[in-house]
Amino acid sequence: MERINVIRLAAAALAVVTTFGVVAQKKYPEREKMTPGMSEYWTPQPKIVTPGNITTNSAPSDAIVLFDGKDLSAWQSPNGDPAAWDVHDGVMTVNKKKGDILTKQKFDNFQLHLEWCVPENISGSSQARGNSGVFLQDMYEVQILDCYNNETYVNGQTGSIYKQTPPLANAMRKPGEWNVYDIIYTAPVFKEDGTYRVPPTVTVIQNGVVLQNNTTILGTTEYIGFPRVVKHGAGPIRLQSHGDPSEPISFRNIWIREM
């Protein structure tokens, strides 16, 4: 084939490709890089509320007991190995070397009760002080942090939907005292295309004080950038082993009721 014909053929092929949009060559600007601080804000700080004397709430008759102080049989590591946090004196304590733990069972809509305690000798500040968290359906984090006399960005403090919605109040007890969480969660409903038909919602109560009131969850928990909408079904409860260097926190009396 003569060279001129090759060129004509190539030009014609390119015209076809362009006409039918087979190859998208159009250049768009690169998305700008985000930093963690871009999704953190510090004011207004939620009011401090001294909680009443709510201490514990043993499991109702229809609850699934996830931790009764004896063993981690309801939990596993992210890779499926046995959960390796430390069980002692009726509580379990985060083992920072072993990573997060997740329930073996998956859940849709639920009422979750758990109690957590920051050690009396806790050190550090802002996010590096007793950081943990509860991930609902392994997707959406309700923050756990020692926010007693410890300020941080408000959409990352105790009872925030992390990096989304700050809590309505700061109802922390002192380090060394037990905090009680009751979390009522409604799972999302998805459209065929994977976006929310009905977004997930959550109510969070700490020590009898409402921190989240039927709050709409915007999407996945992201340390950097915006929440994403990712289609999912039933999921486990995940407890976070955070990488901060402060002393590890403990949990006790964890149960869940499916709704």
Residues 80-119, one symbol each (x = binds Mg ion by CB under 5 A, - = not), give ----------------------------------------
d(Cα 92, Cα 89) in Å, to the nearest integer? 8
Q: Which is nearer to Mg ion, 77 or 109 (CB)?
A: 77
Interaction between residue 131 and Mg ion (CB under 5 A): yes
Q: Which is nearer to Mg ion, 56 or 125 (CB)?
A: 125
Interaction between residue 253 and Mg ion (CB under 5 A): no
CA distances (Å), origin 196, targets 86, 161, 199, 251: 38, 18, 5, 33
Piece of 6-14, 49-57, 113-121, 129-137 that binds Mg ion (CB under 5 A): 129-137
Sign of the Cα pseudo-torsion (46, 131, 67, 93, in order)? negative
Piece of 79-87, 103-111, 219-227, 235-243 that binds Mg ion (CB under 5 A): 235-243
Structure tokens at 54: 């709510």
Phi, psi at 156, each rounded to 5°: -130, 10
Residue with tokens 């509860």: 134
Interaction between residue 156 and Mg ion (CB under 5 A): no
CA distances (Å), origin 218, targets 54, 177, 195, 231, 255: 31, 32, 11, 13, 26
d(Cα 118, Cα 132) in Å, to the nearest integer? 10
Piece of 167-175, 176-184, 232-240, 250-258 that binds Mg ion (CB under 5 A): 232-240
Which of 133, 159, 175, 235 lies at the binding interface for Mg ion (CB under 5 A)? 133
Cβ 143 to Mg ion shortest distance, Å:
5
Which SS3 state, helix, strand or coil, does residue 123 take? coil
Structure tokens at 36: 């963690």
Cβ 240 to Mg ion shortest distance, Å:
5
Cβ 67 to Mg ion shortest distance, Å:
19
The residue number with the shortest CB distance to Mg ion is 133
Compute how many residues bind Mg ion; rule: CB under 5 A: 3
Phi, psi at 72, each rounded to 5°: -105, 30
Which residues contribute to the site for Mg ion (CB under 5 A)?
131, 133, 240
